[in-house]
Amino acid sequence: MTKPEKSSRPSPLQLDLANRLIQQITTGELPAGTHLTEEGLANQFDVSRTPVKAALRLMAAQELLEYHVNSGYFVSAKATLGKAADMLVDGVSGDTLYLRLIDDRTNSLLPDMMTETDFLERYSVSRSLLRGTLVRMAADGLIEKRRGQGWNFSPAIGSPGLMAESYKFRTMVECGGLLENSFKIDAAQLHNCRLAHEKMLSQTPAEHSTQAFFSLNAAFHEMLARFSNNRFVLQAVQQQNQLRRLSEHIAVYHAPRQIDSCKEHLQIIQALESDNREWASALMRHHLSITRN
């Protein structure tokens, strides 16, 4: 097995792609042994194969991927040992800017409308990275391009009324998704998700991270929606997760609630491992009602 040489100065796009793949490994979406192809990832992220190739080399250098001659890249078994979450590569990436924009918007540091010049004056990033990040936020429903110059931020669902409607909608969609006839679990993903939750529960309060909790929480709900094999269920859950970012990403997740939420997720996982989807749906309904309150 020969490991390809890594690029000495990765671009922001390459860093962004690597971090997004590392996130998928951390949440169990890409379990050990998964074959990653340049063409497949280029189509998934809507980019050319060149930055994908560099991102894969970067991850292989950190031993998160294994490279096999004539076969390509595979997720390493080492990536499932809790190492991936600690290996986000350095540098200002699209994810970094994405989260920074959300943080500043949530803290009322950004107005409803901004031009690219306004963004560039505030953030020390390239115009190409900014535009790519804004396009990604627009696809997630967090911002929209004005007909003239500028961008408008979408309203958050932070008001009590909108938040209540959101959780009622999520209860209908997510609990129903668990009972779909087409529902089918991926045992490897479910197992890795369990390990990720158990790892978070083993952390000390000082190690708790709001960003890590939100990512794990969002990935858990999207994973179950994906298991429904109903694309509209998945799209609805993904949209709700994106809308919640503006109101919940920077919200203070007190450690007791993080712990309780992780334990509730593990109960749902256990019910699914026991092939009791009725109980899993009931547990999900209870989980969402507690979270809403």
The residue type of 42 is A
Which overall architecture, per CATH, does domain 94-153 show?
Orthogonal Bundle (1.10)
- Least confident range of 106-110, 154-158, 166-170, 242-246: 154-158
Domains 12-86 and 94-153 share a fold: yes
**Is the pLDDT score of 203 beyond 90?**
no
Listing DSSP states for 212-241 in one string gives: HHHHHHHHHHHHHHHHTT-HHHHHHHHHHH
Asked if 153 and 105 count as a contact pair (C-beta separation under 8 A), the reply is yes
How far is Cα 227 from Cα 207, in angstroms, rounded to an integer? 31
Chain-centroid distance of CA 15 in Å reads 16
CATH superfamily of 160-292: GntR ligand-binding domain-like (1.20.120.530)
Q: Which two tokens stand for residue 93?
A: 């990436």
Domain ranges of the chain: 12-86, 94-153, 160-292
Whole-number pLDDT of residue 132: 80
**Is the pLDDT score of 32 beyond 70?**
yes
How far is Cα 111 from Cα 217, in angstroms, rounded to an integer? 28
How far is Cα 231 from Cα 226, in angstroms, rounded to an integer? 7
| Angle, CA of 202, 18 and 61, to the nearest 5° | 85
Fold type of domain 12-86: Arc Repressor Mutant, subunit A (1.10.10)
258-278 pLDDT, tens per residue?
889 999 999 999 999 999 999
